[in-house]
Amino acid sequence: MALNSPKTIKFIGVATLVLVSFLYSQPLTAQNKAIETTGDIILFALPATAFSSSLIIGDSKGTFQFSKGFVLNQALTIGIKYATNKKRPYNNGDRAFPSGHTSTTFQSAAFIQRRYGWKYGIPAYALAGFTGYSRIEAQRHDGWDILAGAAIGIGSAYLFTTPYQKEHMKLTFTSWDYNYALGFIYNF
C-alpha cells in the first residue's frame, strides 16, 4: 500500500477520529491515564512507522538515515539526562531533562517530514506534539523538558535526512526525421 494512497489517508483520518473520540469519552482521571497511555503508544508507533515505511517502499537510504538520526537522538537525550539529572515535577523521579518520549517522537516526525514531505509530516508532527502534551499532562515533564526534547529530536533527524527522490536517474531517447537524441538526467 502506497503512503499517499487514498486508503492510507482514510485510515489515518479514521484512526485519529477514533483516538480523539476515545479520549473524550473517558472520565477525567481515566482520561488523564488514557492520554498518558496514548503518548506511550505513540512513542513506539511513530518510530516503528517511520522505519518500516522506508523499508516497505524500498528506501534503503532513508532507512539508514533514520537509523543514524535515531541513534544520535538517543545518545544525546540519554547523555544529557544523566549529565543534568533534573528532578521531575512533583518529585516523581529524576532525569527529566530532556523528555525522551518527545525527542524520540519528534525525531521520527522530522524524519518523515524531511524525507517524504509535509503531506506526511504534518500528521507525524501532530502525533509528536500530542506525545509532548501527554508527558506534561502525566506530570512527568515541564515545558522546558518538552521543548529541549523536540529540538534534539528535530535536529538529530535534520542532520542526516535528505528529501526522498524516487528516481535519481532518467534516460530518454527521441527520434525524428532520421535524427536521434539521447538524454540523461541525474537528480542530486
CATH of the domain at 147: 1.20.144
Q: Does the predicted model carry a pTM greater than 0.75?
A: no
How many domains does one find in the chain?
1
Which residues on neighbouring strands pair with residue 175, listed in sequence order? 180
Q: Is pLDDT above 70 for 6?
A: no
Does a structural domain hold residue 18?
yes
Poorest-confidence range of 11-20, 112-121, 159-168? 11-20
Poorest-confidence range of 65-69, 107-111, 139-143, 150-154? 139-143
Of 8-12, 31-35, 71-75, 100-104, which one has max mean pLDDT? 71-75
Domain interval for residue 148 = 6-186
Poorest-confidence range of 109-118, 129-138, 151-160? 129-138
When the pLDDT of each residue in the chain is averaged and rounded to a whole number, the result is 81
C-alpha cell at 4: 499517499
Q: Is residue 104 very low, low, confident or very high in pLDDT (cuts 50, 70, 90)?
A: very high
Does a structural domain hold residue 1?
no
Give CA–CA dist 1/7, Å, rounded: 8
Q: Is residue 99 very low, low, confident or very high in pLDDT (cuts 50, 70, 90)?
A: confident
Does a structural domain hold residue 47?
yes
